[in-house]
Amino acid sequence: MLLAMPGLGHPLFSVSAERADTAGGFHHVPVLFEETLHYLAPAPGKTILDATLGGAGHAEAVLGRGARVIGIDRDPAALANAVVRLRSHGEAFVSRRANFAELAKVTEELAPNGVDGVLMDLGVSSHQLDSAERGFSLRSDGPLDMRMDPSEELTAGEIVNTWEVEDLANLIFELGEERRSRAVARAIVQRREEKAFERTLDLADCVASVVKQVGRTHPATRTFQALRMRVNRELESIEEALESVAAILKPGGRLVVISFHSLEDRLVKRFMQRRSKKEIDRPEWPEARPNPELAFNILTKRPVVAAKGELDENPRSRSAKLRAAERI
pLDDT (tens digit, 9 = 90+) per residue, 244-278? 999 999 999 999 999 998 999 999 999 999 999 99
Instruction: Tell me the average pLDDT across 236-241.
Output: 96
Please give the pLDDT value at position 130. 59
pTM value surpassing 0.75: yes
Residues 6+ apart with CB under 8 A from 314: 17, 19, 29, 31, 306
pLDDT digits (tens, 9 = 90+) for 49-69: 999 999 999 999 999 999 999
pLDDT digits (tens, 9 = 90+) for 65-90: 999 999 999 999 889 999 999 999 99
The reply to whether 226 and 203 lie within a common domain is yes
Round to whole Å and give the CA distance between 234 and 295: 24
Query: What residue numbers bound the domain in which 287 lies?
Result: 15-127+234-327
Tell me, yes or no, whether 91 lies in a domain: yes
Question: Are residues 181 and 169 in contact, defined by beta-carbon separation less than 8 angstroms?
Answer: yes
Please give the pLDDT value at position 26. 52
Instruction: Tell me the average pLDDT across 225-229.
Output: 95
- Helix, strand counts (H, E) of the chain: 13, 13
Q: Are strands 279-280 and 289-290 parallel, antiparallel or unpaired?
A: antiparallel
Q: Which CATH number belongs to the domain containing residue 222 in this structure?
A: 1.10.150.170
Whether the per-residue pLDDT at 222 is higher than 70: the answer is yes
The reply to whether 274 and 190 lie within a common domain is no
Instruction: Please identify, among 176, 199, 231, the residue that sits at the C-terminal boundary of a domain.
Output: 231
Least confident of 13-17, 104-108, 213-217, 245-249: 13-17
The reply to whether 34 and 69 lie within a common domain is yes
